[in-house]
Amino acid sequence: MIYVLNGPNLGRLGTREPEIYGADTYADLVELCVSTGKELGLEVEVRQSDFEGELLSWLHEAADRRIPVVLNPAAFTHYSYAVRDAVAMRTAPLIEVHISNPAAREEFRHTSVVAGVATGTIAGFGLQSYVLALRAMADLIR
């Protein structure tokens, strides 16, 4: 089992700034992650929340159950020390993922408080960032 956890506004994919995030919807993202997982022989569960506390609960659950995580913290990437601290408690690999390349965007997006406690980060490849992260995760846990 691998969790793919998504933070705020990612449920709005397809309508939110398509020039940055593309025209694919959140449903397309879920389908892509689940089908990629099947290709890799992995069960993938995709979740999204606009609420920091819910995301924290899922990260705690993953740590307690030793579940690997692909995490797009979205806006929480840049300022949520609570998310950073939950990621630091991980007991399995955790890959930070972003659809866009934060380093190529506004200056406030250049810093990730999560990156330093994640196994690695993949960014800038659109929804393919998730495919790359799931492939990397498959290698890490085998």
Binding residues for substrate: 72, 78, 85, 99-100, 109
**Residue 30: what are its φ and ψ, rounded to 5°?**
-60, -50
Which of 79, 81, 98, 110 is labelled catalytic?
98
3 is an active site residue: no
81 is an active site residue: no
Contacts of 36 (CB under 8 A, 6+ apart): 44, 130, 131, 134, 135
The alpha helices in 22-119, defined as continuous H runs, are: 26-39, 52-65, 81-88
Q: How far apart are CA 17 and CA 31, in angstroms?
A: 21
Q: How far apart are CA 13 and CA 22, in angstroms?
A: 8
By the 8 A CB rule, do 87 and 94 touch? Answer: yes
Residues marked as catalytic: 21, 98
